[in-house]
Amino acid sequence: MGELATEKHVQYILSVEKKKDDFQSVVMEHLRMNGAYWGLTALDILGKLDTVDADEVVSWVMSCQHESGGFSGNVGHDPHILYTLSAVQVLALFDKLDVLDVDKVTNYVVGLQNEDGSFSGDIWGEVDSRFSYIAILCLSLLHQLDKINVEKAVNFVVSCKNMDGGFGCTPGGESHSGQIFCCVGALALTGSLHHVDKDLLGWWLCERQVKSGGLNGRPEKLPDVCYSWWVLSSLIMIDRVHWISKEKLIKFILDCQDTENGGISDRPDDAVDVYHTYFGIAGLSLLEYPSLKPIDPAYALPVDVVNRIRLGKRHAI
């Protein structure tokens, strides 16, 4: 089995950040905030966050904030809850949450909660259990969870639970590892994990491991590195991670590296991207791969960052 090509991955991530002008970057520019979160969190897990100019990143992040309090994926775009969370997470990485007008961001997120407890992604009203997690995490990082109706928010997430123990995007939607991560995360952050049928869900999740060691998102689908994160973090949150073979999964992720130019792909021999690079590294961190910073499965941030924020709360009280 190969080893994690740490140095190459750092170079790859830094090069993606710098390549603002190539074709792919122009096309992806609207979600640069997500890209920043993926790349920078990966760097932090690798212990190399100090290779980036924090002030430059923070001022760019803040230039993406709108009057409504929400953040857009880049300068010149509309605000959306997806990018608002990424912005808050990036600021948290650099210990710069204090630059935020907390009430303003909070009001934006609070305004997206619907009567039934669900959340919309933006003013256009798309509803998805992913947005429940994002809203809850965003407010948790700001110590403002009490500003929404948590009980209703939890009830909506629970209404997305299926008979196989998993969760879908809306009530009745098919169980999917990505949605499960969001729903379990939302329940974990609100202290509501008793709503999860842990044994049933744990079994469904460990059935996602296929012969190659990789994890898929649904029955009969191909394994993919990003599901290492969705499935693993869910299993950890419900305390069932020992039900899969960690060794085989580590091998699968390492097999997806581009050991020449850095970066990780969805499956062995595919093209790498920063999204799968982050999820591969984050997955390895959850698997306690040597010399990686531990990452928190619910906050999707390094544990030391989460502890800093929790400690900050204690001081505030």
Using the rule CB under 8 A, is 251 a contact of another protein?
Answer: no
Using the rule CB under 8 A, is 198 a contact of another protein?
Answer: no
Helix (H, G, I), strand (E, B) or coil at 104: helix
By CB under 5 A, how many residues form the interface with Zn ion?
3
How far, in whole angstroms, is CA 311 from its chain's centroid? 22
Sole binder of another protein in the list 2, 98, 163, 290 (CB under 8 A): 163
Q: How close are the terminal C-alpha atoms of the chain, in Å?
A: 49
Task: Supply the minimum distance, in Å, between the C-beta of residue 249 and Zn ion.
Answer: 14
| Binding window for another protein (CB under 8 A); candidates: 61-69, 77-85, 90-98, 141-149 | 77-85
Q: Residue with structure tokens 């091998």?
A: 251
Distance in angstroms (rounded) separating the CA atoms of residues 44 and 51: 10
Helix (H, G, I), strand (E, B) or coil at 154: helix
CB 287 within 8 A of CB 232: yes
By a kind-dependent CB cut-off of 5 to 8 A, residue 242 interacts, out of Zn ion, another protein, none, with another protein
Q: Residue with structure tokens 């709360």?
A: 313
By a kind-dependent CB cut-off of 5 to 8 A, residue 162 interacts, out of another protein, Zn ion, none, with another protein
Distance in angstroms (rounded) separating the CA atoms of residues 52 and 39: 11
Sole binder of another protein in the list 69, 73, 185, 263 (CB under 8 A): 73
Sole binder of Zn ion in the list 17, 44, 128, 224 (CB under 5 A): 224
Residue with smaller CB distance to another protein, 13 or 306: 13
Sole binder of another protein in the list 111, 243, 268, 308 (CB under 8 A): 243
Using the rule CB under 8 A, is 242 a contact of another protein?
Answer: yes
Longest alpha-carbon distance in the chain: 52
Sign of the dihedral through C-alpha 31, 86, 121, 216: positive
What are residue 296's phi and psi, to 5 degrees? -85, 125
Using the rule CB under 8 A, is 316 a contact of another protein?
Answer: no
Distance in angstroms (rounded) separating the CA atoms of residues 28 and 285: 27
By a kind-dependent CB cut-off of 5 to 8 A, residue 197 interacts, out of Zn ion, another protein, none, with none
Task: Supply the minimum distance, in Å, between the C-beta of residue 177 and Zn ion.
Answer: 10
- DSSP H helices, the chain, are 6-18, 23-28, 32-45, 54-62, 81-93, 102-110, 129-141, 150-159, 177-189, 198-206, 225-237, 246-255, 274-286, 303-316
Helix (H, G, I), strand (E, B) or coil at 94: coil
| Binding window for another protein (CB under 8 A); candidates: 74-82, 94-102, 148-156, 289-297 | 74-82
**Contacts to another protein from residues 88-117, by CB under 8 A:** none
Please identify the residue of the shown chain whose CB is closest to the bound Zn ion: 226
What are residue 302's phi and psi, to 5 degrees? -55, 145
By a kind-dependent CB cut-off of 5 to 8 A, residue 76 interacts, out of another protein, Zn ion, none, with another protein
Distance in angstroms (rounded) separating the CA atoms of residues 308 and 134: 20
By a kind-dependent CB cut-off of 5 to 8 A, residue 143 interacts, out of another protein, Zn ion, none, with none
| Non-local CB neighbours of 213 within 8 Å, separated by 6+ positions | 223, 245, 247, 248, 249, 250, 251, 252
Using the rule CB under 8 A, is 170 a contact of another protein?
Answer: yes
Please provide the size of the chain in residues.
317
Residue with smaller CB distance to another protein, 60 or 143: 60
Residue with smaller CB distance to Zn ion, 122 or 224: 224
Structure tokens belonging to residue 110: 């609070």
Sole binder of Zn ion in the list 4, 153, 158, 226 (CB under 5 A): 226
Query: Binding residues for another protein, per CB under 8 A?
Result: 22-23, 26-28, 30-31, 72-73, 76-78, 80, 122, 124-126, 162-164, 168-170, 172-176, 202-204, 206-207, 209, 211, 213, 218-221, 226, 242-245, 248, 266, 271, 273, 275-276
